[in-house]
Chains A and B, each alone.
Chain A
Amino acid sequence: MTKMDQPKKRLHLRTALVVLLTIVCSGLQAQTTTINPFPPTPNPDRIVLNVTQDPSTSIAVNWRTCDTVREGFLEIMPVTADPRIAGKATRKQAKNELFKLGDIAATYHSVVVPGLRSKTLYMYRVGQGAYWSEWFHTRTAGKPGDKLSFIYLGDAQTGLKTLWPRVIRAAYAKMPDAGLILYAGDIVNRGNNDNEWGELFYGGSFIHSTIPGMHSPGNHEYARTGDTLSAFWRPQFTLPENGPEGLKETCYFTDVQGMRFISINSYRVEESDEDLQKQKAWVDSLLRHNPNQWTAVVFHHPFYSIRPTRDNVRMRNTFKPLFDRYKVDIVLQGHDHAYGRGMQKIEGATKDERSGTVYILSVSGPKMSSVYEGNWMDVSASYTQLFQLITVEGNTLRYKSYTAAGELHDAFDLIKQKGKPNKLVEHKPDKKQ
């Protein structure tokens, strides 16, 4: 070997090194592009408040950590502006559930806190050891007769981290004192995609941890093939387990300040005779024994659709007679990616009667369809992201639908009348020009 060969050898080595580094780096780069943007960590995330059967005396909270965290606690107390007093909070142990799906390994934690005072602002946090959430504020529900406000959102489904966040944030900014947020199903696009739930929780941010959610599942919370509910649904929510067997936490009710809110699992009604019958009997008994002045029902598949090809006959034939008989006030739905609201053109219990129930379908995410046929509708809209703010006070329910940009797009009042169907008073904003 001559001296001249030395640099050549070094060059080879250097080339080999560069090639090796390139391989390693491109490997690393490929890895960074597929990185999970919402990995579970020791810090609690996806912290969500849920409605309970009686949100005036109890709250339910769920959160997630990485799977090495095997326990969790919730601390709660009436709010104080002096941080020194937070040491007096009551501590409750969480139920912890190990969760595995694909690459995701996490622990889901849940706590129900009973025995709270009504209409009281509480502060709570969740976690353990060195890993705690921030303190959140949340107000328990009041009593029947107290003025109630709530938010209703149609399908979020897509754009969870692009165009949907502005909708829930605008709704919250206009109604921060809402007692609950209703989701009429198709909350995500693929119920088993962890990433989509991550985007949903990112989009709503602390709003999910501040106002209890009432989540009703849609077809997109069910797996594409088969009849299984999203694996995330039950670990990540703690909804009232007061519905029919086999449909727990998807079919349930909550009574809030004199209003009964019922969630029906409309996907299972459409798919299964057994689940249809179960829910029919359950809804019948709930409506028959209902001490509340007002009743709202939320589910995904609408009775009346934006076009004939999207008809949900089973839902309509099963529940319409019950809603007529028991005079359900308002039905909040999704599925069609447009807006429709109707009552005056819809039949009631007989052909001579008009419906006493208002039927609405709406959309909050950016996936859109055009309204093709709407002969049941009093008001319709297409290609508009929307949110709805509803207030119930005494004999009057005030309904307002806003565009994502905050403009009033539809409004009406429902007024209770003794021995007669509700009176509907239109407040549709004047159409421009």
Chain B
Amino acid sequence: MMGIKRNYTFFLKLLICLMLPVAVHAQSQQPENPYPPANYPDRIVLNVTQDPSTSLAVNWRTQKGIAAGSAEIMRAASDPAETTKATAVKAKTETVVHDQVVANYHSAVFTGLEVNTLYMYRVGQGQYWSEWFHVRTAGKPGDKLSFIYMGDVQQGMRTFWPRVIREAYTKMPDARLIMYAGDIVNRGRNDHEWGELFYGGGFIHSTIPGMMSPGNHEHADNAAGVNEITGLWRPQFTLPENGPEGLEETCYYSDIQGVRFISLNSQAIWFGGEGMQKQIDWLESILTNNPNRWTCVVFHHPVYSVKANRDNENLREKFQPVFNKYKIDLVLQGHDHAYGRGMQKIPMPGTKDASPTMYVVSMSGSKMYANDKPAWADKSVGHLQLYQLITIDGKTLSYRSYTATGELFDAFDLIKRKGKTNKLINLK
């Protein structure tokens, strides 16, 4: 018995010895950053500017040793020899230490561009350049406009979400912007989640300007207990700085082909107080002087929720009256991980009319909640990955929502009428 036991112990020890290198090896692989900054630019992202018909903003990242960068641009040419004619813009470079990753973030704004023109651009320096990307500037008011709207990505950025943005892109490669209604990642402070997002979208991020609006998941309490936007947000995006002070690049607007696109920081609204009041005043000011025919607002926390236990009172009580007053056409939101859209059953206080505004909540990633069939919604659903393709041509806004697999799931048109609210035509 003793002999067997001793043998057993010896065998166990031998087994541990044999397994140890394997365990160490496995461990050494695990914590490696799958998205380390390198000499070559990565996370190359185009952003909307205040006027994307004449300017474009681009951000990218390198390792810290690459201390400068520039962006080159020219009209798209099919003869490679012509690339020597490109114009260079020197980048702003800042070193960011975040989530134990040290990187340089570079940004450049191309100005003085021609409207509705295909350009080619690249970013980098020395021997380390990105590929040449194509991008088309926005057209003029009245030109037909196409854009993509994505609800929360948040989870599955590198599993289930890539197919959604890729399907959306292949159905609408001529989209002039992609709107993200917040919770773009799950933990805004986690560098690797942004790495997954940029991996998932691939070159699409560098080809169609993004209009990013932050959600609660891009915010977190800092050491002082103050809720603030992730330290990666402002270095990695160059969004218009035309919003209220202290909310730059989260609350802003962009005018594209006769549509005013407005991003609100609904996290600051949810907390109330000064961060909310500033946005009310600012919103009033940009809606009073709005030369555009159409107006579309994007933010994270919905005015009307798809989930029974979720309610964003500040948005409904303080912002819906402003939307009503200025007859906002379309409000695009996220947060609820289910789909709902409604207009007909939402009352306009003080009148017998229905809401002049269409409210939509959608989701694109893999985090899903059930559909609580809210009373306000004309249509709702749970457990479906979706993307939305929207086209505005003259008096007609055509909205189409597709499942991740490319099937048309929801469709309506909004038609502008003189002196009346938009006519809604349900098509699905």
Which A residues are within 8 Å of any B CB, using their own CB?
29, 32-33, 35, 37, 41-43, 68, 79-84, 86, 121, 123, 125, 132, 134-137, 159, 161-166, 169-170, 172-174, 176, 203, 205-206, 210, 366, 368, 383-386, 403-407
Contact = CB atoms under 8 A, between A and B. Distances in A.
B173 A384 contact: no
B85 to A, nearest CB: 14
Contacts of B122: 162
17 contacts: A37-B39, A81-B403, A83-B383, A84-B368, A125-B159, A135-B162, A136-B163, A162-B122, A162-B132, A163-B83, A166-B131, A169-B207, A170-B134, A205-B202, A385-B80, A404-B78, A407-B78
Given A29-B65, A83-B156, A137 B163 contact: yes
B317 interface: no
Given A79-B405, A166-B131, A170-B134, A206 B173 contact: no
B25 interface: yes
A81 B407 contact: yes
Contacts of B25: 68
Contact of B81 (A33, A132, A383): A383
Given A68-B29, A121-B405, A206-B162, A81 B385 contact: yes
Given A37-B38, A83-B385, A137-B167, A162 B160 contact: no
| Residue from the set A79, A169, A172 with the largest chain B CB neighbour count within 10 Å | A169
B131 A33 contact: no
**Range for the number of chain B residues in contact with chain A:** 35 or more
Contacts of B368: 82-84
Given A81-B405, A81-B407, A135 B34 contact: no
Nearest to B404: A81
B385 to A, nearest CB: 5
Contacts of A29: 65
Interface of B: 25, 29, 32, 34, 38-40, 63, 65, 76-81, 83, 118, 120, 122, 129, 131-134, 156, 158-163, 166-167, 169-171, 173, 200, 202-203, 207, 366, 368, 383-386, 403-407
A90 B173 CA distance: 32
B7 to A, nearest CB: 31
B160 A166 contact: no
B163 A166 contact: no
Nearest to A402: B78
A86 B131 contact: no
B78 A386 contact: yes
Contacts of A210: 166
Listed from nearest, the 6 A-B pairs whose CB atoms lie closest are A366-B80, A176-B170, A81-B403, A173-B173, A403-B78, A405-B76
B79 A384 contact: yes
A162 B162 contact: no
| Residue from the set B118, B129, B132 with the largest chain A CB neighbour count within 10 Å | B132
Given A136-B163, A405-B78, A166 B133 contact: yes
Contacts of B65: 29, 32
B43 to A, nearest CB: 14
A174 B173 CA distance: 8
A369 to B, nearest CB: 12
Contacts of A132: 159
B296 to A, nearest CB: 24
Given A136-B163, A405-B76, A80 B405 contact: yes
B128 to A, nearest CB: 9
Given A81-B386, A134-B163, A166-B132, 4 more contacts: A83-B366, A123-B163, A137-B167, A407-B78
A370 B386 CA distance: 48
Contact of A37 (B40, B118, B131): B40
Given A37-B38, A81-B404, A83-B160, A163 B80 contact: yes
Contact of A135 (B79, B159, B203): B159
Given A32-B39, A407-B78, A206 B166 contact: yes
Nearest to A368: B80
B178 to A, nearest CB: 14
Contacts of B129: 162
A165 B121 CA distance: 12
Given A43-B34, A384-B79, A84 B383 contact: yes
Nearest to B119: A405
B78 to A, nearest CB: 4
Given A37-B38, A37-B40, A163 B207 contact: no
B159 A162 contact: no
A385 B202 CA distance: 22
Contacts of B170: 172-173, 176
Contacts of A172: 170
